[in-house]
Structure formats: C-alpha cells, structure tokens
C-alpha cells in the first residue's frame, strides 16, 4: 500500500485488502496488523479512492469496541482516527461516521479519543493526535453542539502537544517546555498495557495457525521508517499549528465564547494554549 497505492487501487485490489483487514481486526492477537492496513490507506491513498468503504470500516471498528475492546485496540483506533483526520480532514471522519449513527463522533471523541490518546507513547503518533484534535476543534461545529466534548478534545490535544515538544534528559526523565522535569509515566503505562495485551495474545494464539514471514523486496519503501513523521511537511511546528487552529476557531466564535471555554480547562492545558498563542502573536 505504501509502495504502490495507485496501482493497487487501479487493479481493484482494495476490496480484497479490506477483507484481510476485517479478518485481522477481529482477532485480539492480530488487530494491530489490521490497523497497519488502515493507517496505510489513510497515509497513502487519496480519500476519493476508498471513501465509499469508510462506513463499513467504522461498522467493523465500532462492533469491536462494543464486543471486545482492549487497551491495545483502543490505542490503535485512536492512531487510525488521528491519521485519517490529520491527513484528510475532520469532515472525512464526521460525515462517514454519521452514516452509521448520527452524532456518534461526539461519543467517540469524548469516550475514546480524549481518554486513550494519553496512552499513545510514540512521539510521532502524539503529533498525529494533536493535529487531528486541532482539526476536530476548528473544522467542526463541536464547540456549538457539545462544549464539554470540545474541552475534552482540546485538553487531550494540548497534552499531546506538550508531550511531543518535550525532550528527554540523560536520566530518562521528560523535560517539559517550561523547563520542569516529569517522569515518563506515559511510556510506563503503555508498557504495562502491552504486557496485559501480550497475555491475551498468547491465549488466543494457542492452537492457532502460524506462518513464516519473508520481506518482499519490491514492497520496501526507500527511506521509510516505521516511526516516520508523515506530517513533516504539512506541520513543521506543532505549537504554531495548534495555536493557529485555536485562533481560527476564535475568529469564528461570537464574542468571548472561546475565551470562556478555555478558562474552564485545567491549568496545564491553559498554559500550553497560552504558549502556542504567544508563539504566533495572538491574544484572545
């Protein structure tokens, strides 16, 4: 999908690939591989090529969320949603989810995205979450239809902005943008969750089918890495992007709606927003 997305679409292989996704996503042992397929779709394929499949994809994912979600599955779901929105826009997710159930995107944002995004450990994935959150905040009517959900998404996104711009000192402690150090609780939490998920995987794999794997040389993408920053060109500075997104939201809101909404957020979130505003020279 990464190496030859156009050819795969033109040759009519998308339906078959999505069949593989559906099989993988139903398994607690292999659901992360199903998300690899979806992420490759969102990163490499123009939305017009596969948008007709999005409602079915949501149905499969929502069914799994209801019947057998795990911490690993929830993190994979958040990353896919973030890749889709960061690369293709918030409307792509909102409108396609609405075909499954009207308004369900608000429940997903409050109960899954805002909660599970704090457990995403990879640095580049934190950036994806922050960008996706910013697009949800400024490209939808969320502030007018569900202010609490808007605050949840804003808080989660701001904390991902902080986590992304943080650096690590020699002792393995996180150095926040304000110069204070905090322990890597997010990474430890993610490790603990992975251990729990491994137990589920081992149980499911007992008696299951196992096949050897060989790397296809033609499928290798030159210069590509698993943790590559797919938003490197679009979003070179996450703080500027987040600040500009909220500033755009403020310009669309009547009066001091955004200012009063932000005042209800926790102090660390307000500090992040203030820092991003300062970086772009904007004041409410």
Contact between 32 and 64 (Cβ < 8 Å): no
* Predicted local distance difference test score (pLDDT) of residue 210: 45
Q: What string of DSSP letters covers the chain?
A: --S-HHHHHHTT-HHHHHHHHHHHHT-TTTHHHHHHHHHHHHHHS-HHHHGGGHHHHHHHHHHHHHHH--HHHHHHHHHHHHHHHHHH-HHHHHHHHHTTSTTHHHHHIIIIIHHHGGG---HHHHHHHHHHHHHHHHHSSHHHH-HHHHHHHHHHHHHHHHHHH-EE-TTS-EE-TTS-EE--HHHHHHHHHHHHHHHHHHHHHTT---------GGGPPTT--TT--TTTTT-S-HHHHHHHHHHHHHHHSSTTHHHHHHTTS-HHHHHHHHHHHHHHT---
Contact between 128 and 231 (Cβ < 8 Å): yes
pLDDT band, very low/low/confident/very high, at 228 (cuts 50, 70, 90): confident
| pLDDT tens, position by position, 87-113 | 999 999 999 999 999 999 999 999 999
Would you say the pTM of this structure is higher than 0.75?
yes
* Predicted local distance difference test score (pLDDT) of residue 178: 52
| pLDDT tens, position by position, 24-41 | 999 999 999 999 999 999
pLDDT band, very low/low/confident/very high, at 8 (cuts 50, 70, 90): confident
| pLDDT tens, position by position, 38-59 | 999 999 999 999 999 999 999 9
* Predicted local distance difference test score (pLDDT) of residue 168: 34
**φ/ψ of residue 167, rounded to 5:** -115, 170
């Amino acid at each position: 999908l990464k190496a030859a997305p156009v050819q795969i679409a033109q040759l009519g292989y998308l339906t078959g690939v999505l069949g593989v996704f559906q099989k993988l996503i139903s398994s607690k042992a292999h659901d992360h591989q199903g998300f690899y397929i979806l992420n490759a779709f969102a990163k490499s394929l123009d939305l017009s090529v596969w948008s007709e499949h999005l409602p079915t994809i949501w149905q499969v994912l929502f069914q799994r969320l209801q019947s057998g979600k795990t911490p690993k599955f929830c993190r994979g779901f958040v990353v896919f949603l973030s890749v889709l929105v960061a690369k293709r826009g918030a409307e792509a997710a909102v409108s396609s989810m609405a075909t499954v159930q009207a308004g369900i995107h608000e429940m997903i944002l409050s109960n899954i995205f805002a909660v599970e995004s704090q457990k995403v450990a990879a640095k580049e994935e934190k950036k994806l979450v922050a960008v996706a959150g910013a697009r949800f905040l400024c490209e939808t009517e969320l502030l007018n239809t569900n202010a609490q959900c808007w605050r949840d998404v804003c808080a989660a996104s701001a904390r991902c902005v902080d986590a992304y711009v943080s650096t690590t000192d020699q002792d393995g402690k996180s150095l926040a943008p304000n110069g204070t150090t905090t322990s890597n609780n997010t990474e430890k939490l993610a490790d603990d969750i992975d251990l729990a998920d491994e137990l589920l995987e081992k149980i499911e794999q007992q008696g299951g089918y196992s096949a050897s794997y060989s790397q296809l040389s033609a499928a290798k993408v030159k210069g590509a890495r698993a943790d590559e920053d797919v938003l490197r060109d679009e979003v070179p500075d996450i703080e500027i992007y987040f600040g500009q997104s909220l500033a755009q939201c403020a310009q669309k809101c009547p009066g001091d709606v955004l200012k009063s909404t932000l005042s209800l957020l926790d102090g660390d979130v307000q500090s992040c927003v203030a820092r991003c505003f300062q970086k772009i020279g904007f004041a409410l």
